[in-house]
Structure 1
């Protein structure tokens, strides 16, 4: 295939009509005339094997040298049967989701912020374990990632039920402590106007979570005491 002459930055700046860039087959600058008389310039790549045109970027946000490099890479992907535009879209989506999670006020962040608030007030006096240590254990051993990383405003009774229903059937104290602290933390966040008013999804009594959690519970309590005459000597 015969390539067009390599375009220069100077030519690109003064370009007034759609023109091939050279270097990479199918790489073109598309010139779009706007209603106000100005023009926008886009780097496009014709993907003949996919029968479509891929947009690489807009000038001057993308320079000519960057367009050459990206077009070359995308051409290699196209030859390998990969749609680079879909690949890039998926990557951006995953990065945006990750960014959203990092910036979100998650259930885990809520719990630790609630603990910090009450620690400063001197609420807990446990000499053996701090509230933070207790919750580090809860997050490590009992709370799945889906609940831990869920934004507080997205929490629902169903999410709590999914996370704790099995433990609710087999353990007596731990799931109740988790849900009890969760209720208090969510109520505190609402009172403090950290989150908007919402029905507390960790509410069991007179709450939807109470309807969802299984009625079956694990046996608990202390072992029955032996009568004095049965105690070993």
Structure 2
């Protein structure tokens, strides 16, 4: 702030808005990812009597998720043209939609592995572990902006490197059986392909959710304007 000129003020405003966008993306990602894991595990145990992941897998998933999350602080977030403020209804709605969508995606993979491929439980668990790891890290890319993934600023190299490195480490753990039963490359690559399909559909789901929220906000704004206009006409003194 002690630098000469007014450009430092402009830069401070831009940085503040970038921080806000990073915090918004982090909140949406964290709520969506936590809800999808908890819901999937709870329903799997209560309905299917199936434990989708072991205790060591939960620990590995938490560790591998924490690394790319820290890099969100260095991401190339978009800069809003107007002042921004928290809209918790929007944050919770988008996060809930992505979370529920992820739960359906996890159950879809489970049913494919169990009913179509006929794999035993020890081989299903590593693949179920790999799905939230890969698809979860891809969700970070989804929550960076409100439009298509390629519409906003490209993610920083730090975020990309950590995301992809942890995904590869998780895949190697599944393929070669680090702390779990080995599955080989073919099932692991199938999970990657499945996660990529979910990522593409999830992008459309996210865009559609934002558009519905924006249309609702515009409708409410027009409704309030009509009410204010009626009140003004009603209270205006008559000659």
TM-score normalised according to structure 1 size: 0.28
Larger helix proportion of the pair: 2
Answer with 1 or 2: which has the greater Rg: 1
TM-score normalised according to structure 2 size: 0.27
Q: Which has the higher contact order (CA 8 A, sep 6+)?
A: 2
